[in-house]
């Protein structure tokens, strides 16, 4: 039917941004393939699985990890 959005396909978009980047700001170049506006990022975020990036130094040890005796 007219005006109906197509079913989304599985796509991975990796965006590293501060929470404050939800405000209106200039578009950003992504892999030299084109521009993604803040508005489009906000729209995609509504249906995206958001996974925060955690610095490895702040992360807990992996389950089952045993450091070598040399450490």
- Residue 68 in domain: no
pLDDT in tens, 1-60: 556 766 666 666 676 666 655 556 555 555 555 667 778 877 877 887 777 777 888 888
Domain that holds residue 36: 25-51
Residue 39: per-residue pLDDT: 82
> What is the DSSP code string of 3-69?
TPPPPPPP--------GGGGSS---EEETTTEEE-HHHHHHHHHHS-------GGGSPPPTT----T
Task: Assess if residue 35 is contained within a domain.
Answer: yes
Residue 34 lies in a domain: yes
Report the number of distinct structural domains present in the chain: 1
12 lies in some domain: no
In a domain, 66, yes or no: no
Please check whether residue 65 lies inside any domain of the structure. no
């Amino acid at each position: 039917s007219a005006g109906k959005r197509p079913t989304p396909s599985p796509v991975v978009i990796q965006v590293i941004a501060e929470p404050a980047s939800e405000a209106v700001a200039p578009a950003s170049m992504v892999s030299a393939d084109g521009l993604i506006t803040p508005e489009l990022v906000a729209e995609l975020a509504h249906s995206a699985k958001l996974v925060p990036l955690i610095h490895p130094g702040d992360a807990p040890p992996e389950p089952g990890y045993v450091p070598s005796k040399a450490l």
